[in-house]
Structure 1
Amino acid sequence: MSDALFSIFPNERFVDLSLYQFGWEACEPLHSYGPFARNHYLFHYIISGAGTLQSTNSEGVTHTYHIKSGQGFLICPKQINTYSADEDHPWEYAWVEFDGLKAKEVLELSGLSMDSPIYRSNAKDISALLLEEILYIARHADASPFNLIGHLYLMIDYLTQSSASRKIIKGGSMRDFYIREALSFIEQNFQNDITVEDIANFCNLNRSYFGKIFRDAVGKSPQEFLITYRMMKAAQLLKMTELSVGDISNAMGYPNQLHFSRAFKKIYGISPRQWRTENKIPDKRT
């Protein structure tokens, strides 16, 4: 049996970048995982040994990559993948699953994508710091959420700095302005019965054009992001308050509790009641 660490991040309050799961594993020969598709970004750093990744590109074509120690690989949301350890030199890796408003942007800086998933270092000293941060996260599941998020930001910084495929992206465009306006509108109105049309109108943009630039910048359609944002806020209320599921459903703009429960389960994999049971913070008052 493989030696491994596995942890789930205990907090849902971070929007720009947030952790979901993280861990470390020394795999047995030919140990494999998949085929599977993730809901978030997943980055593996190979500490020792080697293995194989099979993953689809942006056109749905499957490619095979042989990866060794000192390299890494990225799995993107909804990308079908299978990865397996080498028979003679099985890999040991550490991994972090993350997402957020800035995730797609920072990964573009690193040059990693569905079409170019393999991390290769051009700076050994910085890639050593990258591994150090991933291992810190994997080994400190009991640290505070702010502590772990801080190390996630450091990890992302070292990833972009050391990636051999790093790109320079110019900022300050009108697209960035519109995206900030859209996100601000969603943040202030998510509890109301707003539509993608409402958000596009607020930005004075054609809905089709708005949808395109939003997906390019955020990595999700406006509708997908709005639902995810609402469910993130709902999870926070389930965890921190005594409000009923019905009250939280209404607060998230879902007068129909069944529709709310279905949307929540699609994001978190379990019902709101079950999520609360597993994540509710105990009342420490005496």
Structure 2
Amino acid sequence: MDKLSFNIFPNVNFIDLCMYQFGHEQCEPGHSFGPATRNHYLFHYVLSGTGTLMADNAKGITQTYNIKSGQGFLIFPGQINTYIADDKLPWEYIWIEFDGLRVKEALTTTELTKNNPVYHTHSKDIREKLVEEMLYITRHPSESPYHLIGHMYLFLDYLMQSAKSSKLVPGGKMSDFYIKEAMNYIEQNFQNDISIEDIAGVCGINRSYLGKIFKNSVGHSPQEFLMNYRMIKATELLKLTSLSIADVGSAVGYENQLHFSRAFKNIYGVAPREWRNEHK
């Protein structure tokens, strides 16, 4: 029998960074998982032993990687993958599945891509800190969601530091500044009737350029980011207050209840009232 601990994170109302599940497994020889895909990012760190990862690259062509202790691998959303423990020296690993509106932006600063999913680092100290955070999360599943998310932020920071890309994108620093300005404006004004032109104007750039750099860095258009942000705020209000559906819609920037309900259903697949009844 495999030695396995597995936990589902109890709260999905975190926007920038959220966990979905995490765990620790000492695999049996030849133990395999897949082929499968994930809806979110999934990072494994190998504590001991070895194994094999087979994952599609950016062109959809399956590549094979041999991974040993002290290394790890990142599976990307929608990426077909299979991983198999070695027959003689099976791996023991810890993992975290995570996502969020700023995760793609964070990972672009690392060398981890679909074409390069294996985690290596030249900094042993930072790698050890990353492992400490992963082990802490897997060993303390009963801590509060806010407590665990705090450690998740530290994990992501250590991942970014230890797998930092040596390639600098020309002009990247300025585009990063624009994106942060846009995000800050959305977070502070999502409840108002704001347009993408308003957001671009605050940044001092045109709408099409904002859309291009936002999509490349965050993985969403500014409009999608704004809508997702509003809907997550709406779920908090539906779950934690007794405000009417119309008032919840108004609180997140929708004066028309029908428009709010339609947008909410597009994201969550059910009407706001039905969502509230399921989660209250």
Normalising by the residue count of structure 1, what TM-score does the alignment of the two structures yield? Answer: 0.78
Where structure 1 has 5 or more consecutive residues not aligned to the other structure, the ranges are 281-286
Cα shift readout 1:114-135 (whole Å, capped 9, x = no counterpart) = 2211002323343233222101
Contact 1:44 1:95 (C-alpha < 8 Å) held by counterparts: yes
Contact 1:17–1:99 (8 Å) recurs in 2: yes
Q: 1:159 — aligned with what?
A: 159
Alignment of 1:108-257 (within 5 A): 108-163=108-163, 166-167=165-166, 173-191=173-191, 194-244=194-244, 247-249=247-249, 251-252=251-252, 253=254, 255-256=257-258, 257=261
**Alignment: residue pair count:** 274
Unaligned runs of 5+ in 2: none
Residue 260 of structure 1 is matched in structure 2 by 264
Distance in 1 (alpha carbons) for counterparts of 2:19 and 2:52: 25
Q: 1:220 to 1:79 in 2, by over 3 A?
A: farther
Give 1:33's aligned residue: 34
Aligned partners of 1:249 and 1:260 also within 8 Å: no
2:45/2:93 contact within 8 Å kept: yes
Q: Which amino acid aligns with 1:213?
A: I
Q: State the 1:14 CA deviation.
A: 4.3
Q: Give distance in 1, aligned partners of 2:143 and 2:168.
A: 34
The 8 Å contact of residues 108 and 167 in structure 1, kept in 2 or not, is answered as no
Q: Distance in 2 between matches of 1:196 and 1:63?
A: 40
The reply to whether residue 98 of structure 1 matches residue 98 of structure 2 is yes
Q: Which 10-residue stretch deviates more, 228-237 or 184-193?
A: 184-193
Aligned partners of 1:42 and 1:98 also within 8 Å: yes
Please report the RMSD computed on the Cα atoms of aligned residues, expressed in angstroms.
3.2
**Could you tell me which amino acid in structure 2 is paired with residue 31 of structure 1?**
S
Q: Identify if the C-alpha distance between structure 1 residues 197 and 125 changes in structure 2 by more than 3 Å, giving closer, same or farther.
A: closer
Moved more, 86-95 or 185-194: 185-194
What CA distance in whole angstroms lies between the structure 2 residues aligned with 1:117 and 1:239?
38
Distance (whole Å) between structure 2 residues aligned to residue 128 and residue 234 of structure 1:
39
Q: C-alpha distance in 2, partners of 1:161/1:184? A: 23
The question of whether the paired residues in 2 share the 8 Å contact of 1:31 and 1:84 is answered with yes
How far apart, CA to CA, are the structure 2 residues paired with 1:221 and 1:108? 16
For the residue of structure 1 that corresponds to 2:108, the secondary structure is: helix
Relative to structure 1, the CA distance from residue 128 to residue 176 in structure 2 (aligned partners, 3 Å threshold; closer, same or farther) is: closer
**Matches of 1:125 and 1:174 in 2, distance apart?**
31
- Structure 2 CA distance for partners of 1:123 and 1:210, relative to 1, 3 Å: closer
DSSP-derived class of the 1:94 partner: strand
Amino acid at match of 1:167: S
Q: Distance in 2 between matches of 1:134 and 1:277?
A: 34
User: 3-state SS of the aligned residue for 2:257?
Assistant: coil
TM-score calculated relative to the size of structure 2: 0.80
> SS of the residue aligned with 1:157?
helix
Aligned residue in 2 for 1:284: none
* Structure 2 CA distance for partners of 1:111 and 1:195, relative to 1, 3 Å: same
CA shift digits 1:49-108 (9 cap, x unpaired):
322222233333332222222210112233333333334433221111223354234323
Residues 70 and 274 of structure 1, relative CA distance in 2, 3 Å threshold: farther
The answer for the alignment partner of 2:83 in structure 1 is 83
Question: Identical aligned pairs, as a percentage?
Answer: 54
Shift of residue 2 of structure 1?
3.2
- The separation in 1 between residues aligned to 2:271 and 2:54, in whole angstroms, is 32
1:238-264 per-residue CA deviation (whole Å, 9 max, x = no partner) reads 332233556535544373325422312
